[in-house]
């Protein structure tokens, strides 16, 4: 009887997204044979500007169609598969995988992470909920979930939400934590008298960066506290204006850094803000990438007391929690940790333990193999 699983990781997935790279690493860590079948329509989404012209759109469409046929052909040639996992973002890859896997009698697992309707309509408000576009996105999401044998979600809360809004049985949604890439690991902090508070992100609304800025403003009289916010994105301009209006002097804004530089910034931080601090529906359901990365780096982490965070973390033991959407609560937490280095070290030790017990590559790989079945 074959014991080693042979799995195809399939689609136009992004290798810069942690929930693809950690899944691939995890499967290999537990001895699974992983066959990557990948053709990215856009290799680097940061270069999306060049696709805004008519010629660019036509070229993008041509690449997409070519890749769909290429992926389908390659998948048909693979033999002795135990499962196909469609990587993120696989919104256009699931139908192709489903058609071929029906003939192969192989299960399709969809690493969804987010849904189109949830992200574009509920979270970022790009389209009104009653618009034709919103209704179309919701129908299409439901189709993708229907075609998938298993939908892999980042938290059980997220899976329950999908089950409710799409009317699909909750048993189809299975939780596997995202974890962090191997570059995120404990490093030595350089000694100094400051208490460094770090946040980084893409400035999307659910991160609630406005509450971090307001909390920093409330703590401005404590000269030991230094805030660093790294990143750029949707609300960056708005957040910079807020900081200017409040005359905040204790925040250093850094536009962007490399991954190696980011790990160094985490290493020098005393308090890491893992989020999500916004009040959106999604903010209550997920655990941020950065939170996993900070745990992996053995840091004292501050998160909101959201449903998602509470699945993994416990207030006062493995993280320190504040109310979402409340700068006063966040400021009080930072003040408490800022004056107590022993508490920070205790949290850091506990965060490292909870990460290794729940989010290591071996744990992630084992959970994925369990989903495929014996």
**119-130 confidence digits (pLDDT tens):** 888 887 888 889
Q: Does the structure show a pLDDT above 80 at 43?
A: no
Domain harbouring 96, CATH code: 3.40.50.2000
Residues 161 and 265 occupy one common structural domain: no
Q: Is 115 left (phi over 0), alpha (psi -120 to 50) or beta?
A: beta
Taking residues 237-246, report their average pLDDT.
96
The pLDDT score that the predictor gives to residue 125 is 80
Q: Is 125 left (phi over 0), alpha (psi -120 to 50) or beta?
A: left
**How much is the CA Rg of the chain, to the nearest whole Å?**
21
The boundaries of the domain holding residue 167 are 6-179+360-372
The pLDDT score that the predictor gives to residue 143 is 96
Select from 288, 315, 137 the least CA-distant residue to 199: 288
Q: How many CB atoms lie within 10 A of CB 49?
A: 8
Residues 299 and 205 occupy one common structural domain: yes
Give the C-alpha separation, 342 to 276, whole Å.
25
Taking residues 65-87, report their average pLDDT.
91
Residue 101 belongs to some domain of the structure: yes
Q: Does the structure show a pLDDT above 80 at 46?
A: no
Residues 169 and 223 occupy one common structural domain: no
Residue 282 belongs to some domain of the structure: yes
Residues 310 and 166 occupy one common structural domain: no
Length of the chain in terms of residues written: 374
The pLDDT score that the predictor gives to residue 54 is 54
Residues 232 and 278 occupy one common structural domain: yes
Residues 300 and 330 occupy one common structural domain: yes
Residue 190 belongs to some domain of the structure: no
Give the C-alpha separation, 257 to 255, whole Å.
7
Do residues 6 and 33 touch, judged by C-beta distance below 8 A?
yes
Q: Does the structure show a pLDDT above 70 at 45?
A: no
Residue 186 belongs to some domain of the structure: no
Q: Does the structure show a pLDDT above 80 at 59?
A: no
Note the pLDDT tens digit of each residue in 329-372: 999 999 999 999 999 999 999 999 999 999 999 999 999 999 99
Q: Does the structure show a pLDDT above 80 at 259?
A: yes
Residue 173 belongs to some domain of the structure: yes
Bigger pLDDT: 124 vs 286: 286
Give the total number of structural domains in the chain: 2
Residues 93 and 161 occupy one common structural domain: yes
Does an H or E element contain 28, and which? Answer: helix 18-29
Confidence tier at 51 by pLDDT (50, 70, 90): very low
Q: How many CB atoms lie within 10 A of CB 284?
A: 22
Residues 118 and 262 occupy one common structural domain: no
Taking residues 223-246, report their average pLDDT.
95
Do residues 126 and 137 touch, judged by C-beta distance below 8 A?
no
The pLDDT score that the predictor gives to residue 124 is 79
Residue 185 belongs to some domain of the structure: no
Residues 83 and 126 occupy one common structural domain: yes
The pLDDT score that the predictor gives to residue 183 is 95
Residues 32 and 142 occupy one common structural domain: yes
Residues 261 and 157 occupy one common structural domain: no
Residues 205 and 354 occupy one common structural domain: yes
Q: What is the pTM of this model?
A: 0.90
Residue 109 belongs to some domain of the structure: yes
Residue 307 belongs to some domain of the structure: yes
């Amino acid at each position: 009887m074959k014991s080693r699983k042979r799995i195809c990781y399939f689609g136009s997935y992004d290798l810069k997204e942690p929930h693809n790279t950690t899944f691939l690493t995890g499967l290999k860590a537990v001895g699974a044979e992983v066959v990557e079948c990948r053709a990215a329509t856009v290799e680097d989404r940061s270069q999306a500007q060049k696709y805004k012209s008519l010629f660019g759109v036509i070229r993008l469409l041509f690449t997409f169609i070519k890749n769909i046929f290429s992926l389908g052909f390659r998948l048909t040639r693979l033999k002795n598969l135990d499962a196909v996992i469609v990587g993120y973002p696989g919104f256009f890859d699931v139908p192709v995988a489903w058609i071929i896997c029906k003939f192969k009698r192989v299960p399709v697992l969809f690493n969804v992470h987010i849904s189109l309707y949830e992200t574009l309509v509920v979270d970022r408000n790009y389209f009104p909920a009653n618009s034709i576009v919103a209704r179309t996105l919701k129908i299409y999401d439901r189709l993708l979930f229907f075609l998938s044998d298993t939908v892999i979600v980042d938290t059980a809360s997220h899976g329950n939400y999908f089950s409710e809004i799409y009317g699909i049985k909750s048993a189809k949604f299975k939780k596997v934590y995202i974890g962090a890439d191997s570059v995120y690991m404990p490093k030595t902090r350089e000694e100094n008298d400051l208490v460094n508070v770090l946040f980084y992100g893409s400035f999307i609304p659910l991160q609630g960066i406005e509450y971090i800025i307001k909390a920093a403003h409330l703590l401005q009289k404590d000269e030991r506290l230094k805030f660093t916010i790294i990143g750029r994105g949707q609300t960056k301009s708005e957040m910079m204006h807020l900081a200017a209006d409040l005359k905040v002097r204790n925040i250093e804004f850094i536009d962007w850094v490399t991954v190696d530089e980011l790990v160094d910034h985490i290493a020098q931080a005393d308090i890491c803000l893992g989020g999500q601090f916004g009040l959106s529906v999604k903010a209550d359901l997920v655990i941020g990438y950065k939170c996993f990365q900070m745990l992996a780096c053995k840091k004292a982490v501050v998160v909101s007391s959201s449903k998602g965070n509470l699945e993994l973390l416990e207030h006062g033991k493995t993280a320190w929690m504040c109310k979402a959407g409340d700068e006063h609560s966040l400021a009080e937490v930072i003040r408490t940790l800022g004056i107590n280095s022993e508490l920070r070290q205790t949290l850091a030790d506990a965060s490292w333990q909870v990460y290794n017990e729940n989010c290591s590559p071996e744990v992630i790989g084992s959970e994925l193999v369990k989903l495929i079945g014996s």
